[in-house]
Protein backbone atom coordinates (compact mmCIF):
# COMPACT_ATOMS: atom_id res chain seq x y z
CA UNK A 1 0.00 0.00 0.00
CA UNK A 2 2.85 2.40 0.84
CA UNK A 3 4.13 2.11 -2.73
CA UNK A 4 0.75 3.21 -4.07
CA UNK A 5 0.54 6.26 -1.81
CA UNK A 6 4.13 7.47 -2.14
CA UNK A 7 3.82 9.47 -5.39
CA UNK A 8 1.06 11.64 -3.92
CA UNK A 9 3.54 13.39 -1.64
CA UNK A 10 4.50 15.68 -4.53
CA UNK A 11 1.01 16.17 -6.03
CA UNK A 12 -1.25 19.16 -5.52
CA UNK A 13 -0.77 22.90 -5.83
CA UNK A 14 1.01 25.76 -4.11
CA UNK A 15 -1.91 28.12 -4.85
CA UNK A 16 -3.88 29.59 -1.99
CA UNK A 17 -7.45 28.43 -1.45
CA UNK A 18 -9.65 30.11 -4.05
CA UNK A 19 -6.68 31.37 -6.05
CA UNK A 20 -6.74 30.89 -9.84
CA UNK A 21 -5.12 30.26 -12.19
CA UNK A 22 -3.35 27.42 -10.40
CA UNK A 23 -0.77 24.84 -11.39
CA UNK A 24 -1.68 21.26 -10.47
CA UNK A 25 1.05 18.63 -10.08
CA UNK A 26 -0.35 15.18 -10.80
CA UNK A 27 0.49 11.71 -12.11
CA UNK A 28 1.12 12.87 -15.69
CA UNK A 29 2.99 16.10 -14.98
CA UNK A 30 1.56 19.58 -14.45
CA UNK A 31 -1.64 21.24 -15.63
CA UNK A 32 -2.79 24.86 -15.43
CA UNK A 33 -6.38 25.37 -14.31
CA UNK A 34 -7.58 28.88 -15.23
CA UNK A 35 -10.65 29.05 -13.00
CA UNK A 36 -13.23 27.06 -11.08
CA UNK A 37 -14.32 24.32 -13.52
CA UNK A 38 -17.86 24.50 -14.84
CA UNK A 39 -17.90 21.53 -17.25
CA UNK A 40 -16.18 18.51 -15.70
CA UNK A 41 -15.97 15.11 -17.39
CA UNK A 42 -15.04 12.07 -15.28
CA UNK A 43 -13.77 8.81 -16.72
CA UNK A 44 -14.13 6.45 -13.73
CA UNK A 45 -16.55 6.01 -10.84
CA UNK A 46 -14.06 7.29 -8.28
CA UNK A 47 -13.69 10.56 -10.14
CA UNK A 48 -17.45 10.95 -10.49
CA UNK A 49 -17.92 10.21 -6.79
CA UNK A 50 -15.26 12.79 -5.89
CA UNK A 51 -16.73 15.49 -8.13
CA UNK A 52 -20.19 15.03 -6.62
CA UNK A 53 -18.84 15.09 -3.06
CA UNK A 54 -16.98 18.30 -3.89
CA UNK A 55 -20.25 19.93 -4.95
CA UNK A 56 -19.98 19.68 -8.74
CA UNK A 57 -22.41 18.21 -11.26
CA UNK A 58 -20.24 16.88 -14.10
CA UNK A 59 -21.53 17.27 -17.63
CA UNK A 60 -20.29 13.82 -18.63
CA UNK A 61 -19.11 10.55 -17.11
CA UNK A 62 -17.89 7.18 -18.28
CA UNK A 63 -19.47 4.03 -16.91
CA UNK A 64 -17.16 1.42 -15.43
CA UNK A 65 -17.71 -1.70 -17.54
CA UNK A 66 -20.60 -3.75 -16.25
CA UNK A 67 -21.14 -1.40 -13.32
CA UNK A 68 -23.99 1.01 -13.99
CA UNK A 69 -23.75 4.35 -12.26
CA UNK A 70 -24.90 3.67 -8.66
CA UNK A 71 -28.02 5.32 -7.29
CA UNK A 72 -26.21 7.39 -4.68
CA UNK A 73 -24.45 9.19 -7.57
CA UNK A 74 -27.39 9.26 -9.97
CA UNK A 75 -29.48 11.08 -7.37
CA UNK A 76 -27.08 13.99 -7.74
CA UNK A 77 -26.48 13.85 -11.51
CA UNK A 78 -29.72 12.65 -13.05
CA UNK A 79 -29.15 14.30 -16.44
CA UNK A 80 -25.50 13.44 -16.87
CA UNK A 81 -24.37 12.41 -20.35
CA UNK A 82 -22.54 9.10 -20.64
CA UNK A 83 -19.27 9.21 -22.59
CA UNK A 84 -18.63 5.53 -23.17
CA UNK A 85 -17.06 3.29 -20.57
CA UNK A 86 -13.89 3.52 -18.54
CA UNK A 87 -12.43 0.83 -20.79
CA UNK A 88 -13.46 2.68 -23.98
CA UNK A 89 -14.15 6.38 -23.50
CA UNK A 90 -16.07 8.01 -26.34
CA UNK A 91 -13.67 10.77 -27.39
CA UNK A 92 -16.14 12.38 -29.81
CA UNK A 93 -18.74 12.62 -27.07
CA UNK A 94 -16.18 14.15 -24.72
CA UNK A 95 -15.19 16.75 -27.32
CA UNK A 96 -18.86 17.57 -27.91
CA UNK A 97 -19.35 18.42 -24.24
CA UNK A 98 -16.62 21.07 -24.39
CA UNK A 99 -15.22 20.23 -20.95
CA UNK A 100 -12.97 22.56 -19.01
CA UNK A 101 -11.58 19.74 -16.81
CA UNK A 102 -11.16 16.00 -17.35
CA UNK A 103 -10.49 13.74 -14.36
CA UNK A 104 -9.11 10.21 -14.52
CA UNK A 105 -6.08 8.17 -13.47
CA UNK A 106 -2.79 7.02 -14.91
CA UNK A 107 -3.74 3.39 -14.35
CA UNK A 108 -6.90 3.75 -16.42
CA UNK A 109 -5.92 6.10 -19.22
CA UNK A 110 -2.19 6.74 -19.41
CA UNK A 111 -2.23 5.91 -23.12
CA UNK A 112 -5.00 8.47 -23.74
CA UNK A 113 -3.52 11.29 -21.68
CA UNK A 114 -2.05 13.27 -24.56
CA UNK A 115 -5.30 13.09 -26.52
CA UNK A 116 -7.44 14.01 -23.53
CA UNK A 117 -5.12 16.87 -22.58
CA UNK A 118 -5.54 18.29 -26.08
CA UNK A 119 -9.30 18.45 -25.46
CA UNK A 120 -9.24 20.11 -22.03
CA UNK A 121 -7.06 20.54 -18.92
CA UNK A 122 -6.62 17.03 -17.59
CA UNK A 123 -5.67 15.93 -14.07
CA UNK A 124 -4.74 12.30 -13.39
CA UNK A 125 -4.42 10.47 -10.12
CA UNK A 126 -2.14 7.45 -9.97
CA UNK A 127 -4.86 4.82 -9.68
CA UNK A 128 -8.31 4.24 -8.21
CA UNK A 129 -9.13 2.25 -5.09
CA UNK A 130 -6.64 2.19 -2.24
CA UNK A 131 -5.73 5.82 -3.02
CA UNK A 132 -9.29 7.19 -2.92
CA UNK A 133 -8.49 9.64 -0.10
CA UNK A 134 -5.41 10.97 -1.87
CA UNK A 135 -7.30 11.21 -5.17
CA UNK A 136 -10.02 13.22 -3.48
CA UNK A 137 -7.48 15.69 -2.12
CA UNK A 138 -5.91 16.03 -5.57
CA UNK A 139 -9.27 16.71 -7.23
CA UNK A 140 -10.11 19.24 -4.52
CA UNK A 141 -6.95 21.12 -5.50
CA UNK A 142 -7.86 20.87 -9.19
CA UNK A 143 -11.31 22.36 -8.63
CA UNK A 144 -10.47 24.83 -5.87
CA UNK A 145 -12.90 23.07 -3.53
CA UNK A 146 -10.50 22.58 -0.63
CA UNK A 147 -12.96 23.88 1.96
CA UNK A 148 -15.72 21.53 0.85
CA UNK A 149 -13.20 18.67 0.79
CA UNK A 150 -12.26 19.39 4.39
CA UNK A 151 -15.92 19.16 5.41
CA UNK A 152 -16.38 15.84 3.57
CA UNK A 153 -13.27 14.33 5.15
CA UNK A 154 -14.37 15.59 8.57
CA UNK A 155 -17.78 13.98 8.12
CA UNK A 156 -16.16 10.69 7.16
CA UNK A 157 -13.89 10.78 10.17
CA UNK A 158 -16.85 11.56 12.45
CA UNK A 159 -18.83 8.62 11.03
CA UNK A 160 -15.85 6.28 11.41
CA UNK A 161 -15.28 7.43 14.98
CA UNK A 162 -18.93 6.91 15.92
CA UNK A 163 -19.16 3.46 14.34
CA UNK A 164 -15.85 2.40 15.87
CA UNK A 165 -17.23 3.29 19.30
CA UNK A 166 -20.38 1.21 18.72
CA UNK A 167 -19.06 -1.92 16.97
CA UNK A 168 -18.48 -5.07 19.02
CA UNK A 169 -15.10 -5.98 20.48
CA UNK A 170 -13.34 -8.00 19.36
CA UNK A 171 -14.37 -7.33 15.75
CA UNK A 172 -15.21 -10.38 13.62
CA UNK A 173 -12.79 -11.08 10.79
CA UNK A 174 -14.10 -10.25 7.32
CA UNK A 175 -13.57 -11.79 3.89
CA UNK A 176 -14.61 -10.00 0.69
CA UNK A 177 -15.88 -12.27 -2.08
CA UNK A 178 -16.93 -11.01 -5.49
CA UNK A 179 -18.62 -13.43 -7.87
CA UNK A 180 -17.99 -12.25 -11.40
CA UNK A 181 -19.63 -13.79 -14.49
CA UNK A 182 -16.73 -16.19 -14.99
CA UNK A 183 -14.58 -16.30 -11.86
CA UNK A 184 -14.29 -15.79 -8.11
CA UNK A 185 -12.37 -12.73 -6.91
CA UNK A 186 -11.14 -12.19 -3.37
CA UNK A 187 -10.25 -8.65 -2.34
CA UNK A 188 -7.19 -8.25 -0.13
CA UNK A 189 -6.27 -5.15 1.88
CA UNK A 190 -4.91 -2.66 -0.70
CA UNK A 191 -8.22 -1.51 -2.20
CA UNK A 192 -11.09 0.87 -1.46
CA UNK A 193 -13.10 -1.46 0.77
CA UNK A 194 -9.94 -2.70 2.47
CA UNK A 195 -9.16 0.89 3.52
CA UNK A 196 -12.64 1.46 4.97
CA UNK A 197 -12.57 -1.85 6.85
CA UNK A 198 -9.15 -1.00 8.27
CA UNK A 199 -10.42 2.41 9.41
CA UNK A 200 -13.19 0.57 11.24
CA UNK A 201 -10.84 -1.86 12.95
CA UNK A 202 -11.99 -5.03 11.22
CA UNK A 203 -9.40 -7.80 10.93
CA UNK A 204 -9.38 -9.70 7.68
CA UNK A 205 -9.68 -13.42 7.12
CA UNK A 206 -6.26 -15.05 7.01
CA UNK A 207 -6.61 -15.87 3.32
CA UNK A 208 -7.12 -12.18 2.43
CA UNK A 209 -4.88 -10.48 4.99
CA UNK A 210 -2.33 -9.64 2.30
CA UNK A 211 -0.99 -6.24 1.20
CA UNK A 212 -2.31 -6.67 -2.31
CA UNK A 213 -5.31 -5.74 -4.44
CA UNK A 214 -7.16 -8.97 -5.23
CA UNK A 215 -6.80 -12.57 -6.32
CA UNK A 216 -8.84 -14.46 -8.91
CA UNK A 217 -9.08 -18.11 -7.93
CA UNK A 218 -11.07 -21.25 -8.60
CA UNK A 219 -14.13 -22.08 -6.53
CA UNK A 220 -12.24 -24.98 -4.97
CA UNK A 221 -10.18 -22.41 -3.02
CA UNK A 222 -13.21 -20.75 -1.43
CA UNK A 223 -12.42 -22.38 1.89
CA UNK A 224 -8.88 -21.03 1.83
CA UNK A 225 -9.70 -17.42 0.96
CA UNK A 226 -13.22 -16.95 2.34
CA UNK A 227 -12.27 -17.95 5.87
CA UNK A 228 -13.52 -14.83 7.66
CA UNK A 229 -16.18 -14.95 10.35
CA UNK A 230 -18.23 -12.59 8.14
CA UNK A 231 -18.31 -12.63 4.35
CA UNK A 232 -19.09 -9.50 2.35
CA UNK A 233 -20.56 -10.91 -0.85
CA UNK A 234 -20.76 -8.84 -4.05
CA UNK A 235 -22.33 -10.43 -7.13
CA UNK A 236 -21.72 -8.77 -10.50
CA UNK A 237 -24.72 -8.76 -12.89
CA UNK A 238 -26.69 -10.88 -10.44
CA UNK A 239 -29.75 -11.36 -12.66
CA UNK A 240 -27.67 -12.89 -15.47
CA UNK A 241 -24.81 -14.42 -13.48
CA UNK A 242 -25.29 -18.17 -13.89
CA UNK A 243 -21.78 -18.80 -12.58
CA UNK A 244 -22.60 -17.06 -9.30
CA UNK A 245 -25.83 -19.03 -8.96
CA UNK A 246 -23.85 -22.24 -9.41
CA UNK A 247 -21.32 -21.22 -6.75
CA UNK A 248 -23.94 -20.14 -4.22
CA UNK A 249 -25.88 -23.36 -4.68
CA UNK A 250 -22.82 -25.59 -4.46
CA UNK A 251 -21.39 -27.60 -1.57
CA UNK A 252 -18.11 -25.68 -1.22
CA UNK A 253 -19.88 -22.38 -0.57
CA UNK A 254 -22.37 -23.89 1.83
CA UNK A 255 -19.61 -25.42 3.93
CA UNK A 256 -18.02 -22.05 4.73
CA UNK A 257 -18.37 -21.09 8.38
CA UNK A 258 -19.79 -17.63 7.64
CA UNK A 259 -22.45 -19.22 5.44
CA UNK A 260 -23.32 -21.81 8.06
CA UNK A 261 -23.45 -19.11 10.76
CA UNK A 262 -25.68 -16.89 8.56
CA UNK A 263 -23.01 -14.18 8.57
CA UNK A 264 -23.03 -13.27 4.87
CA UNK A 265 -23.64 -9.60 4.03
CA UNK A 266 -24.75 -9.29 0.40
CA UNK A 267 -23.93 -5.87 -1.04
CA UNK A 268 -24.15 -3.80 -4.21
CA UNK A 269 -20.95 -4.50 -6.13
CA UNK A 270 -21.09 -1.14 -7.96
CA UNK A 271 -20.90 0.66 -4.60
CA UNK A 272 -18.88 -1.52 -2.23
CA UNK A 273 -16.35 -2.62 -4.86
CA UNK A 274 -16.68 -0.12 -7.70
CA UNK A 275 -17.59 3.08 -5.84
CA UNK A 276 -14.04 3.97 -4.71
CA UNK A 277 -14.86 7.37 -3.19
CA UNK A 278 -16.14 9.06 -0.05
CA UNK A 279 -19.75 8.85 -1.27
CA UNK A 280 -19.41 5.09 -1.58
CA UNK A 281 -17.62 4.98 1.79
CA UNK A 282 -20.64 6.60 3.45
CA UNK A 283 -22.84 3.91 1.87
CA UNK A 284 -20.51 1.21 3.22
CA UNK A 285 -20.61 2.71 6.71
CA UNK A 286 -24.42 2.79 6.59
CA UNK A 287 -24.51 -0.84 5.42
CA UNK A 288 -22.16 -2.08 8.13
CA UNK A 289 -24.07 -0.19 10.80
CA UNK A 290 -27.33 -1.77 9.61
CA UNK A 291 -25.72 -5.22 9.51
CA UNK A 292 -24.70 -4.92 13.17
CA UNK A 293 -28.01 -3.36 14.21
CA UNK A 294 -26.46 0.01 15.10
CA UNK A 295 -27.80 3.55 14.70
CA UNK A 296 -24.81 5.87 14.33
Domain membership flag for residue 210: yes
Same domain, residue pair 69 and 191: no
pLDDT computed for residue 219 by the predictor: 87
- Does any domain span residue 165? no
Report pLDDT digits (tens) over 209-250.
999 999 999 888 898 999 999 999 999 988 889 999 999 999
pLDDT at 279: 97
287 and 197 in one domain? yes
Task: Tell whether 74 and 133 lie within a shared domain.
Answer: yes
Which of 144, 161, 189 marks a domain boundary?
144
- Residues 165-182 have a mean pLDDT of 96
In a domain, 240, yes or no: yes
Q: Within this chain, do residues 27 and 127 fall inside the same structural domain, yes or no?
A: yes
Please compute the mean of the pLDDT values over residues 25-51 and round it to a whole number. Answer: 97
Structural domain span for residue 34: 2-144
- For 69-121, how does the pLDDT look when each residue is reduced to its tens digit (9 = 90+)? 888 888 888 789 999 999 999 999 999 999 999 999 999 999 999 999 999 99
Does 257 share its domain with 132? no
Question: Reduced to 3 states, what is the DSSP secondary structure of residue 231?
Answer: strand
195 in the same domain as 107: no
Work out the angle at residue 267's Cα, subtended by the Cα atoms of residues 245 and 104, and round it to the nearest 5 degrees: 110
What b-and-e string marks burial along 102-111, b requiring 16 or more CB atoms within 10 Å of the CB?
bbbbbbbbee
Please check whether residue 162 lies inside any domain of the structure: no
Number of neighbours of residue 29 by Cβ within 10 angstroms: 11
When pLDDT is averaged across residues 38-59 and rounded to a whole number, the result is 97
Look over the chain and give the mean of its residue pLDDT values, rounded to a whole number: 95
pLDDT of residue 65: 67
Beta-sheet pairing, 184-187 with 174-179: antiparallel
161 within domain boundaries: no
Are 184 and 250 in the same domain? yes
Task: For residue 154, tell me if it sits in a domain.
Answer: no
Domain membership flag for residue 156: no
pLDDT, position 168: 95
| Per-position DSSP letters for 158-177, written without gaps between them | HHHHHHHHHS-SSPPPEEEE
User: What is the rounded average pLDDT of the residues 189-204?
Assistant: 97
Do 181 and 260 share a domain, yes or no?
A: yes
Question: What CATH number does residue 283 fall under?
Answer: 3.40.50.1980
244 and 204 both lie in a single domain: yes
Using an 8 Å Cβ cutoff, are 62 and 44 in contact? yes
Question: Per the structure, how many domains does the chain have?
Answer: 2
Predicted local confidence at residue 174, as pLDDT: 97
Same domain, 18 and 106: yes
Question: Same domain for 189 and 260?
Answer: yes
The distance from CA 290 to its chain's CA centroid, rounded to whole angstroms, is: 21
Give the mean pLDDT of 14-19.
Answer: 94
Q: Does any domain span residue 155?
A: no
Query: Quick one: 181 and 229 in the same domain?
Result: yes
Amino acid sequence: MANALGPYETYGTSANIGEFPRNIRHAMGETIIDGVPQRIVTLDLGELDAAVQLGFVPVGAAEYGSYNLPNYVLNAVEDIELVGTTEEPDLEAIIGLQPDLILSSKLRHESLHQTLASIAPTVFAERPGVTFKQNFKLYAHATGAEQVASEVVGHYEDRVRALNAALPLPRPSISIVQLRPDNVRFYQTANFLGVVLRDLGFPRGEGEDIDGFAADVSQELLGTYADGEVIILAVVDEAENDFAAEILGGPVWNQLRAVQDDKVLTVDSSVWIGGVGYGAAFEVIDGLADNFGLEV
